[in-house]
């Protein structure tokens, strides 16, 4: 007799078998994969013992792509076919990538959905395909190290990644055959790596200074909920700026001008070497042996004090962004309990000193800043596949930009505000503008400005089958749902009839961190202008609505209920409103709307009386 294999509903038939899951930090220059073994998070090495995988892919005709160090060796001699920094292209359109400058020596071509395709000897490759090749190698490394098939992975993304960039990352994982357990913001992963999620409550600032970008995130842990309160930063600030500052100082010391590209790269490499050395020693020499095209010695001594004076103005920019992000969260520096350092540039002693001065406490630096994000992702993956007993932590990230809809007059009605924790669902009721309207276009937008033209269009869809009613009578409920990965679904439903339409918002390209930062800055600097523009558009819409309503009423009952003089008076005031509506003074429009409304009050009263008389005609009083 055979026995049934019994397991609790939703559990594995082998409940004691450990599930293999990893955390992946898909970085711009380097990527890592990590897992939890014996209760300890660790990054996984390749067969040679290296942990960092260069985020570089080289394509060759009729051969498998080279990924990592082998590809990196051909960045100069085979630049068009060796793709690096592909993370900068994820979720972006052809027009966006052409603005990245000459630093990307690739030939691009747009496909039907706007995604930029890269010309290689192996054919056209999309950024999603390139990222998939990197992820595939990391997944294979994970399976080889763990000795089994992966259940899934938590993949980290910058806090500033918008919906399109997150979706592109998820698509790349799917193409690589990886089940995505969660897309996790990088600063959140860093806080998890330090075990700050085990605190009962506390506020954490994650200071992430990489080679080219700076991100600051403020998180709060309370009653098992890990919530991102606000994010900010500067997408044009990083360790590269430190190298340029040192290089410029050297040029001033030796009166060096008009460097060619080869000399510039040589000088920057020496500056980077000196910067890294000064994290260990108090002074070092910048050696220029082998300087391209120069035979005379140019060695310069750089000490830590001089280095600090060169770095301070750059670090000050990061600290200003930090203070702004704290204000967004409604917090002062004294209310921050812990500061986490992320990114290779935070190894600079001066950076650690200035951050400690700002927060009046030493930052956490015990975990390798290059590995901390992957380690945190691994811990979260271990929780999500059920390997950890006890209560699971809940991570609440935030939206980088507000989401809303286009309303009459080209205005944006925000439905979910920036920095709202996700997952989130919000609904708002709208109505029709015209009598008998049976369809509505739902235009989904992203941004902080008040006018459609100043925000980014995400998607459009139509709701059809609305019962014909008077303008304003229909009730359409539009619902926005953002999942834990930051991906958006929008639905619209007419409440009386039940007709509905839904769309998964999956745009073909997204915004860069710099564009997001620019949009937020623009919303601050143009707040007065936007307020005036919104008020003008609102009054113009109200004027159009009033003019249309009066025109319909005049055509139906004007000659019957009004004298010639009364008709002419109303027409004159309508013409005056049309003139005011074409101007840019919303006060003048408001004033003329009031004048026209008063001029038509008696007409409206007569129409109402006439309507009641006709409704009661031929009916006995007892039957009313």
Yes or no: say if 311 and 321 are a contact pair by the CB < 8 Å rule. Answer: no
Strand order in the sheet with 116-120: 108-110, 116-120, 123-125
521 in catalytic set: no
User: What is the model's pLDDT at position 332?
Assistant: 92
pTM over 0.75: no
Question: 241 and 177 in one domain?
Answer: no
Q: What angle do CA 245, 248, 250 make, to 5 degrees?
A: 110
Question: 29 and 162 in one domain?
Answer: yes
Rounded Cα gap, residues 144 and 167, in angstroms: 28
The residue annotated as part of the active site, out of 25, 450, 454, 485, is 25
Question: 351 and 203 in one domain?
Answer: yes
208 in catalytic set: yes
Rounded Cα gap, residues 482 and 457, in angstroms: 17
User: What is the model's pLDDT at position 293?
Assistant: 62
8 assigned to some structural domain: no
Q: Which residues of 220-250 are buried (b: 16+ CB within 10 A; e: fewer)?
A: bbeeeebbbbbbbbbbebbbbbbbbbbbebb
Question: 533 and 518 in one domain?
Answer: no
197 in catalytic set: no
Yes or no: say if 462 and 494 are a contact pair by the CB < 8 Å rule. Answer: no
Pairing of strands 439-446, 424-430: unpaired
DSSP conformation class of 244: H
User: What is the model's pLDDT at position 415?
Assistant: 85
The residue annotated as part of the active site, out of 96, 171, 208, 370, is 208
User: What is the model's pLDDT at position 241?
Assistant: 86
Label residue 294 exposed, middle or buried (CB < 10 Å: 0-12, 13-18, 19+): middle
Question: 562 and 515 in one domain?
Answer: no
User: What is the model's pLDDT at position 372?
Assistant: 92
Rounded Cα gap, residues 575 and 573, in angstroms: 5
User: What is the model's pLDDT at position 511?
Assistant: 44
The residue annotated as part of the active site, out of 133, 171, 186, 234, is 186
Question: What CATH number does residue 610 fall under?
Answer: 1.20.1270.10
CA-to-CA dists, residue 18 to 15, 143, 150, angstroms: 8, 13, 11
Question: 343 and 204 in one domain?
Answer: yes
User: What is the model's pLDDT at position 391?
Assistant: 44
501 assigned to some structural domain: yes
In 459-526, which residue ranges form alpha helices assigned H by DSSP?
513-525
Rounded Cα gap, residues 129 and 173, in angstroms: 9
Last residue of a domain, which of 525, 558, 590?
Answer: 525
| pLDDT tens readout for residues 120-141 | 998 888 888 999 999 999 999 9
Question: 337 and 262 in one domain?
Answer: yes
Question: What CATH number does residue 482 fall under?
Answer: 2.60.34.10
| pLDDT tens readout for residues 429-481 | 888 777 788 888 888 888 777 787 777 777 778 888 888 887 777 888 888 88
621 assigned to some structural domain: no
Question: 586 and 447 in one domain?
Answer: no
Question: 232 and 300 in one domain?
Answer: yes
492 assigned to some structural domain: yes
User: What is the model's pLDDT at position 61?
Assistant: 87
The total domain count for the chain is 4
623 assigned to some structural domain: no
1 assigned to some structural domain: no
In terms of residue numbers, what domain contains 576? 528-616
Question: 440 and 353 in one domain?
Answer: no
User: What is the model's pLDDT at position 158?
Assistant: 81
Question: What CATH number does residue 190 fall under?
Answer: 3.30.420.40
Q: Which residues of the chain have pLDDT under 50?
A: 1-16, 101-103, 390-391, 507-513, 519, 621, 624
SS3 of residue 285 by DSSP: strand
Rounded Cα gap, residues 464 and 501, in angstroms: 8
Question: 325 and 228 in one domain?
Answer: yes
25 in catalytic set: yes
Kindly tell me the sign of the dihedral angle through the C-alpha atoms of 360, 365, 371, 372: negative
Question: 466 and 561 in one domain?
Answer: no
10 assigned to some structural domain: no
225 assigned to some structural domain: yes
């Amino acid at each position: 007799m055979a026995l049934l294999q019994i397991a609790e509903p939703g559990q594995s038939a082998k409940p004691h078998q450990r599930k293999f899951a990893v955390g992946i930090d898909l970085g711009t220059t380097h990527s890592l994969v990590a897992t939890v073994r014996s209760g300890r998070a660790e990054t996984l090495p390749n067969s040679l013992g290296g942990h960092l995988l260069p985020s570089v892919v080289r394509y060759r005709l009729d051969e498998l792509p080279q990924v990592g160090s082998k590809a990196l060796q051909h960045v100069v001699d085979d630049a068009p076919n060796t793709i690096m920094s592909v993370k900068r292209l994820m979720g972006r359109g052809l027009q966006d990538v052409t603005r990245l400058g000459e630093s990307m020596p690739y030939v691009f071509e747009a496909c039907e959905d706007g995604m930029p395709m890269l010309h290689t000897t192996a054919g056209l490759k999309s950024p999603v395909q390139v990222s998939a090749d990197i992820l595939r190698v990391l997944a294979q490394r994970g399976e080889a190290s763990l000795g089994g098939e992966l259940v899934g992975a938590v993949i980290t993304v910058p806090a500033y990644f918008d919906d399109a960039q997150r979706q592109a990352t998820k698509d790349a994982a799917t193409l690589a055959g990886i089940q995505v357990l969660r897309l996790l913001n990088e600063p959140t992963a860093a806080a998890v790596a330090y075990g700050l999620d085990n605190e009962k409550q506390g506020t954490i600032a994650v200071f992430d200074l990489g080679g080219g970008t700076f991100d600051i995130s403020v998180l709060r842990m309370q009653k098992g909920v890990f919530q991102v309160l606000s994010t900010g930063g500067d997408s044009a600030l990083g360790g590269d700026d430190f190298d340029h500052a040192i290089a410029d100082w050297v040029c001033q010391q030796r009166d060096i001008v008009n460097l060619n590209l080869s000399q510039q790269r040589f000088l920057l490499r020496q500056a980077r070497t000196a910067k890294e050395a000064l994290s260990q020693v108090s002074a070092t020499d910048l050696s220029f042996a082998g300087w391209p095209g120069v035979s005379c010695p140019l060695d310069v001594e750089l000490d830590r004090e001089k280095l600090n004076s060169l770095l301070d103005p750059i670090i000050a920019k990061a600290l200003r962004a930090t203070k702004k992000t704290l204000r967004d969260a409604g917090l002062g520096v004294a209310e921050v309990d812990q500061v986490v350092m992320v990114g290779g540039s935070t190894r600079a002693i001066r950076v650690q000193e200035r951050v400690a001065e700002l927060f009046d406490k030493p930052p956490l630096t015990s975990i390798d800043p290059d590995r901390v994000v992957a380690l945190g992702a691994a811990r979260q993956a271990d929780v999500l596949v059920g390997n950890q007993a006890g209560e699971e932590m809940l991570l609440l990230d935030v939206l980088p930009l507000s989401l809303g809809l286009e309303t009459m007059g080209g205005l944006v009605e925000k439905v979910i505000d920036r920095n709202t924790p996700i997952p989130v669902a919000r609904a708002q009721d709208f109505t029709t503008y015209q009598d008998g309207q049976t369809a509505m276009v739902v235009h989904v937008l992203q941004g902080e400005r008040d006018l459609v033209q100043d925000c980014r269009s995400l998607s459009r869809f139509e709701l059809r089958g609305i019962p014909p009613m008077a303008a304003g009578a229909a009730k359409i409920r539009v619902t926005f749902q953002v999942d834990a990965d930051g991906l958006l679904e929008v639905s619209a439903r007419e409440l009386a009839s039940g007709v509905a339409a839904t769309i998964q918002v999956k745009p073909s390209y997204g915004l860069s961190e710099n564009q997001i930062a620019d949009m937020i800055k623009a919303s601050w600097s143009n707040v007065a202008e936007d307020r005036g523009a919104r008020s003008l558009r609102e009054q113009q819409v109200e004027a159009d609505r009033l003019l249309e309503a009066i025109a319909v009423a005049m055509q139906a009952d004007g000659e019957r209920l009004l004298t010639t003089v009364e008709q002419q008076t109303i027409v004159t005031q309508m013409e005056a409103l049309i003139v005011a509506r074409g101007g840019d003074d919303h006060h003048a429009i408001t004033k003329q709307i009031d004048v026209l409304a008063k001029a038509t009050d008696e007409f409206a009263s007569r129409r109402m009386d006439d309507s009641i008389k006709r409704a009661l005609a031929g009916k006995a009083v007892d039957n009313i």
